[in-house]
Every structure is written in C-alpha cells, then in structure tokens.
Chains A and B, each alone.
Chain A
C-alpha cells in the first residue's frame, strides 16, 4: 500500500511535467541553406563551416539601406544583449551578408557593423558569389536605379535561424520579436 507521502510525491511529478512548457522542435528546412564561401570584414575567406557548433542568426541587406536594414541590425543587437543578460552571450553567431559588394567592402563592413554589435560577422564577395548564396537562401534582391544616379535595392527581408549544423530552422519577418527568437534559440542549444 503506497504511503500518502509517496502518493503525493508522484502526483507532484505528474503535475510538474504538465506545467513545463513543451516546445515542438523547430522543423528542418531542407529547401534552403547549404555551404558557401564568402569574404569577411577582415578580407579573409569565410566558409560556412566556421559557423557550425552554434546557432546562427543570418540577415541579408546592404548598409546604404536607411529603413529596414538598420532596424533589423539594431533589433539583432538588442537580441544579442538580451541573450547576454540570460547568460547566452557569445553562444549564437550573428551574420550579415551584403548584396551590395561595390559599396559594402570589407573595410566598410568593418566600420559599419560593430556599431550595432561588435560580434556581427559581415560577409561580402563577388556579385556572382553573393548571387549564389542569396539563391541558396531564397533571397530576392533587385537593383533599383535612383533619380540622381545612385542606386538602391528592392529585397526580401527575412531573418534566418540556423542550427549548429547550419540547417535552416526558422524564418522571421523584419519586425521580429526578440523574445520569440531567444526562445527558439534556446531549443537549439
């Protein structure tokens, strides 16, 4: 005959198991992603395998973008600070890939990106290299000629969450919620 105390203990375990939030594992997107080699902000060749071992937040943009791109980068910086507060500092890669290699040289990325987050990895390359990587991630970008001879880009603006094996696990909109991202990242750690 089970004692009352043991019965209550077992009941507590069952109750506790029900209270713990069960998160579904993030699905693996097999259609997007893959290996790539670009050039980082120190002009070194950067292979995607260097990201393995940690989750990665990845965003495609260009530094001349005044609206969406700095907003996303600022939000990624905020996410990074929030993760640091939760003891997750430096456990997630944050990567920015430009589709404007003409203006976003390694030197310019080196000057621009740390303002948002000193740990941001900035990647550039030849137009063909960037086009290939963008296609791997389903990124659409189109050159827009401006009236004064300058140019801008129309572009998709998703943020990609990769796991520690560089597999795409989730896409976020530009106005993502850092709390959602952090919760998802924790499932991949």
Chain B
C-alpha cells in the first residue's frame, strides 16, 4: 500500500512526464539529439534536426509533422547537384526499417517548419510532432539553439 505522499510523488512524476514530451531509447520510436536552429524573429521558416530509431519489428513511414507555431511542417532534404549547387527538395515519405536510424542533420535531411506565426527564441523548447503512416504522432520538445553541440 503506497503511502499518501508516495502517491502524490508518482502522480507528479506522471504529470511532468506527460507535460514534457520526450522519448527514451527503448521507446518503439526513439528520438535523440532533437534541436531547432535559432533564427531571427523576422524569419518565416526554421529547420529542425534529430535522429529517429525504429525499435519496432516492422518498417515505419515518416510522413511529415506539425507544430502549433508553424503553418506547415515537412521533411526536406538538401541535395548536391552536378553543378555543385545545393538544392532543397521535399523528401516525401521516408521509410525507416526495423532497427534502423534515420538522421536529420544540417546540410541534409531536416524538418522544415514554414509559415511561422511565432519564432521560438533561443533557449526555449517548443513541441514539434512527427507524423507516421502506421501509428500515432510522436511529439517531442526541440530546444532552440545555434548548433547541435550546445
């Protein structure tokens, strides 16, 4: 039988966990190293990066995302063309096979948040949700910083 204060502690822990979206390495879809690149307050778009590991035994399909502060959210890629230019393209749906990790990093795949209604400031951690074809959204807090190393 739990003592009353232990129940409150457990309830508090559950409350904080629910209010602080995050994944753990053992979750079916584990996300690590998530961050948003800080941009000026007059910006209309910003990029986010993360590593996503599929810990299930079946392939999953990343279809896009959504965030309260962005009109639309997609996954884009930067591709180097034959002429040396870098071109941003819509990555479309990305299949992540069982056990695989998909990495979104500067200069390559990234979460593109566009039509920003409110540009998150450095030091804040707004919530961004990733959408999948096979399952519910996975929502995470993404700290706003200048680089991955912070």
B39 / chain A contacts, CB cutoff of 8 Å: 66, 70, 115
Given contacts A66-B39, A74-B146, A150-B114, whether A142 and B85 have CB atoms under 8 Å apart is yes
A174–B90 alpha-carbon span in the complex (Å): 21
Closest to A175 in B: B107
CB distance from B38 to the nearest CB of A (A): 8
Q: For chain B, residues 71 to 85, give those with C-beta under 8 angstroms from any C-beta of chain A.
A: 72, 76, 78, 81, 83-85
Closest to A147 in B: B90
A144 / chain B contacts, CB cutoff of 8 Å: 87-89
Given contacts A66-B110, A67-B88, A147-B90, whether A154 and B81 have CB atoms under 8 Å apart is yes
A155–B81 alpha-carbon span in the complex (Å): 9
CB distance from B15 to the nearest CB of A (A): 34
B114 / chain A contacts, CB cutoff of 8 Å: 150
Q: Flag if B85 contacts A63 (CB, 8 Å).
A: no
Check A40 for interface membership: any CB of B closer than 8 A: no
Q: Flag if A154 contacts B72 (CB, 8 Å).
A: no
A150 / chain B contacts, CB cutoff of 8 Å: 114
CB distance from A151 to the nearest CB of B (A): 11
CB distance from A112 to the nearest CB of B (A): 5
Q: Flag if B86 contacts A156 (CB, 8 Å).
A: yes
Q: Number of residues in B with C-beta < 8 Å to the partner?
A: 31
A71–B106 alpha-carbon span in the complex (Å): 8
Check B103 for interface membership: any CB of A closer than 8 A: no
CB distance from A87 to the nearest CB of B (A): 24
Given contacts A74-B147, A154-B86, whether A66 and B41 have CB atoms under 8 Å apart is no
Closest to B77 in A: A67
Q: Flag if B47 contacts A67 (CB, 8 Å).
A: yes
A67–B76 alpha-carbon span in the complex (Å): 10
A67–B89 alpha-carbon span in the complex (Å): 12
Q: Flag if B107 contacts A68 (CB, 8 Å).
A: yes
A122–B146 alpha-carbon span in the complex (Å): 21
* Cβ contacts A to B, 20 pairs, < 8 Å: A64-B44, A66-B47, A66-B110, A66-B112, A67-B76, A67-B88, A67-B106, A70-B47, A71-B106, A74-B38, A115-B39, A115-B41, A116-B40, A142-B85, A150-B114, A154-B86, A155-B85, A157-B86, A174-B86, A175-B106
Which B residues are closer than 8 A to A by beta carbons? 37-47, 72, 76, 78, 81, 83-90, 106-107, 110, 112-114, 146-147
In order of increasing CB-CB distance, the 4 nearest A-B pairs are A154-B87, A115-B40, A66-B47, A154-B85
